[in-house]
Amino acid sequence: MEKASGSEGGREMNEGTTHYAGCIQAGPKHYECALQEVGRLRNTITDLRVKLAAARQETEIQIFKAEKKPWVGLTDEQIKQCSYDADGFMIDREVAMRAVEAKLKEKNT
């Protein structure tokens, strides 16, 4: 994107008029500056419209996915299976968490 004019001070153009950021507010001598600003704003609007359309599309995809396949959690029995071994001893916490993760992944993909 084009750098805003005036960041290094005013710039000289024709007829000895000094231009600077926001100089379009100063009147007809800055008509060309105003036209340039309109062009920049048009480009910005076009850019934002493209981004907005992409964001809307992405949102629709996410909504579609969410509606299509709701999240499925674990039952109490499945949590128990992930927490205790066959002899009823508590499984190491990290191993149990990995088991929960694997079970949830299995049910949600």
| Residue 10 region by backbone torsions, left for phi larger than 0, else alpha for psi between -120 and 50, else beta | beta
Tell whether residue 82 is a contact of Zn ion (CB under 5 A).
no
Q: Let me know how long the chain is.
A: 109
Q: Which helix (H) or strand (E) holds 59?
A: helix 31-68
Q: Between residues 30 and 82, which has the closer beta carbon with respect to Zn ion?
A: 30
Give the count of beta carbons closer than 10 Å to the beta carbon of residue 23: 20
Compute the least distance from the CB of residue 27 to Zn ion, in Å.
Answer: 9
Compute the least distance from the CB of residue 10 to Zn ion, in Å.
Answer: 9
Tell whether residue 23 is a contact of Zn ion (CB under 5 A).
yes
Tell whether residue 30 is a contact of Zn ion (CB under 5 A).
yes
Q: Between residues 18 and 81, which has the closer beta carbon with respect to Zn ion?
A: 18
Site residues (vs Zn ion, CB under 5 A): 19, 23, 30, 33
